[in-house]
Structure 1
Amino acid sequence: MTALVEAQNICVRAGGSEVLHDVSLRVTKGEIVTILGPNGSGKSTLLRALLGILPVSHGRVSRSPGLRIGYVPQKLHIDRTMPMTARRFLSLPHRHSRADSDAALARVGVPEVADRPMAGLSGGQFQRVLLARALLTKPDLLVLDEPTQGLDQPGEAAFYRLIEEVRRDTGAAVLMVSHDLHVVMSASDRVICLNGHICCEGTPRVVSNAPEYRALFGLGTQGALALYQHAHDHDHTHDHPHDHHDHHGHTHA
């Protein structure tokens, strides 16, 4: 399948030292790829190289022609003295109609915040507005840099659910850097463990059992990667016709 974005043996240098060495990866249409790694492992550097923000010192990054990317940054500071509403924020830097902006906020589950100041939103609401702004570009690829940082476990789980629904409804691929080394959305098609280079790669379950993953995160022989599930104690043999929590073929622990 043709890659939306692909890195071939890339190296990235910063401040005279090599931050990424010989990294190769590709993201194809409709898949969810999660990048895990400790602080300083080069996760954000890799995203910026894939987006063309940072130059590579070796190798090649290619993106499909006309690729539309929706980017959700790791952190965004809003001046608390500036009374910018969520709807107004969605029209920066490109203006969108009120109807489109309101539809985007509704899509991410926060229609009530349209006229509220951005500085007054909760962490979860703020991240959903950032996601709405990214979705307004109708992206082929959604890139999220530690989108659940600062959220509590229920907030993180709800945001993961939302990402799964966006992929299902729009067909957009998702490339996500996760700050949580111990929990990964089970809908991830691939997990890449990064520490300056790719240590291991595979499905969430394969990676959770990889000795490289355990060594990288100091988990020892007892450590394990927990896979976030939609409903841990849900019995699909008795599904209600209208229950559509988990129809992505997830394997339940």
Structure 2
Amino acid sequence: MTGPLLELTGIDWSREGRRILNRVSLTVQRGEIVTLIGPNGAGKSTLVQIAVGLLKPDAGVCRRQPGLRIGYVPQALTLDPSLPLTVGGFMRLQARKLAAADVGQALAETGVGDLHDRSVHALSGGEWQRVLLARALLQQPDLLVLDEPMQGVDLTGQEELYRLLAEVPRRYRCGILMVSHDLHLVMASTDRVICLNGHVCCEGHPESVTSHPEYLRLFGWQGSQGLAVYSHHHDHRHDVHGCVTPSSAQAGS
């Protein structure tokens, strides 16, 4: 089927009288990676929850292709530490009839095939994110939605996960909508970066990180092909109440 996997048009959403999202629109095509960035409180998690159907917008339209299979990794998924649960047991929570071979293959594809019998409470941040990704991929998704998948993962682990995610659209013929926890560092294979702060501030393509001075200043090492720096400029700013006002340069023109 042609057309976007996901199309959000004019999305509004408020909570306790505060406007969180204001006329936000975006699309995700099959084979495309779209990354959302923005400061804390910008509405990124709210937007992806609307995208997967967990929240309903106050206004606007959310269109998903008929029969769309979605694999979703939320921003925070914590388990009761008193619950004795292995990685394999966790994988089967969503579908107990899954064959052991399917679970093993999904874990192997994300590089944690040897953790099947490990307690979920003994995993590192990077291992846990790989397990969550494997669980989402078990859905054979058309659309993979990842809300800050690099949270709690060190920089080396981030690069490895980004390399893995870069292969997912080709391998599964799916699209990816991903929230980045950093305002500048994004996945190098990202097709579009959307900067959100209640509304879409700007969008564009990430730049190569190999010789970007900002990246080198921050991290001091080279050779990364998994990360890119997204440089962007807004023609407005937000006041202490979150309202949009013209930038000083625009106001003086």
Structure 2-normalised TM-score? 0.81
In structure 2, what is the Cα distance between the partners aligned to 1:84 and 1:32?
33
What are the residue-to-residue correspondences of 1:120-199 with 2, within 5 Å? Answer: 120-199=122-201
What runs of 5+ residues in structure 1 fail to find an aligned partner?
217-253
In structure 2, what is the Cα distance between the partners aligned to 1:185 and 1:68?
23
Code of the aligned partner of 2:12:
C
**Residue in 2 that maps onto 1:210:** 232
**Residue in 2 that maps onto 1:38:** 39
**Residue in 2 that maps onto 1:72:** 73
In structure 1, what is the Cα distance between the partners aligned to 2:207 and 2:156?
22
In structure 2, relative to structure 1, the CA distance for the partners of 1:98 and 1:14 (3 Å cut) is: same
**Superposition RMSD in Å:** 1.8
1:181-212 Cα distance to aligned partner (Å, 9 max, x none)? 12111100000000000000111139934322
**Residue in 2 that maps onto 1:16:** 17
How far 1:214 sits from its partner (Å)?
Answer: 11
Code of the aligned partner of 2:53:
G
In structure 2, what is the Cα distance between the partners aligned to 1:209 and 1:78?
37
In structure 2, what is the Cα distance between the partners aligned to 1:209 and 1:119?
38
**Residue in 1 that maps onto 2:219:** none
In structure 2, what is the Cα distance between the partners aligned to 1:208 and 1:55?
30
Code of the aligned partner of 2:77:
L
Identity percentage of aligned residues = 51
In structure 2, what is the Cα distance between the partners aligned to 1:43 and 1:152?
22
How far 1:78 sits from its partner (Å)?
Answer: 1.6
In structure 2, what is the Cα distance between the partners aligned to 1:134 and 1:53?
16
How far 1:43 sits from its partner (Å)?
Answer: 0.2
Contact 1:79 1:119 in 2 (8 A): no
Structure 1-normalised TM-score? 0.81
2:108 to 85, 103, 106: 106
Code of the aligned partner of 1:111:
G
Code of the aligned partner of 2:166:
E
Q: Give the ranges of 4+ consecutive aligned residues of structure 1 lying more than 2 Å apart after TM superposition.
A: 205-210, 213-216
What runs of 5+ residues in structure 2 fail to find an aligned partner?
209-228, 239-253
**Residue in 2 that maps onto 1:84:** 85
In structure 1, what is the Cα distance between the partners aligned to 2:205 and 2:237?
18
How far 1:92 sits from its partner (Å)?
Answer: 1.2
Contact 1:5 1:27 in 2 (8 A): yes
**Residue in 2 that maps onto 1:225:** none
Contact 1:191 1:204 in 2 (8 A): yes
Code of the aligned partner of 2:88:
R
In structure 1, what is the Cα distance between the partners aligned to 2:107 and 2:77?
18
Higher mean Cα deviation, 168-177 or 105-114? 168-177
How far 1:76 sits from its partner (Å)?
Answer: 1.1
In structure 2, what is the Cα distance between the partners aligned to 1:213 and 1:190?
19
Higher mean Cα deviation, 122-131 or 202-211? 202-211
In structure 2, relative to structure 1, the CA distance for the partners of 1:215 and 1:203 (3 Å cut) is: farther
Code of the aligned partner of 1:212:
H
In structure 1, what is the Cα distance between the partners aligned to 2:145 and 2:38?
16
In structure 2, what is the Cα distance between the partners aligned to 1:7 and 1:214?
23
Contact 1:200 1:213 in 2 (8 A): no
DSSP-derived class of the 1:88 partner:
helix
**Residue in 2 that maps onto 1:219:** none
Code of the aligned partner of 2:134:
A
In structure 1, what is the Cα distance between the partners aligned to 2:132 and 2:236?
33
Aligned residues: 216
Code of the aligned partner of 1:127:
Q
Code of the aligned partner of 1:156:
Q
Contact 2:193 2:230 in 1 (8 A): no
In structure 2, what is the Cα distance between the partners aligned to 1:169 and 1:135?
11
In structure 2, relative to structure 1, the CA distance for the partners of 1:19 and 1:215 (3 Å cut) is: closer
1:88-130 Cα distance to aligned partner (Å, 9 max, x none)? 1111121211111011100101111000110111111111000
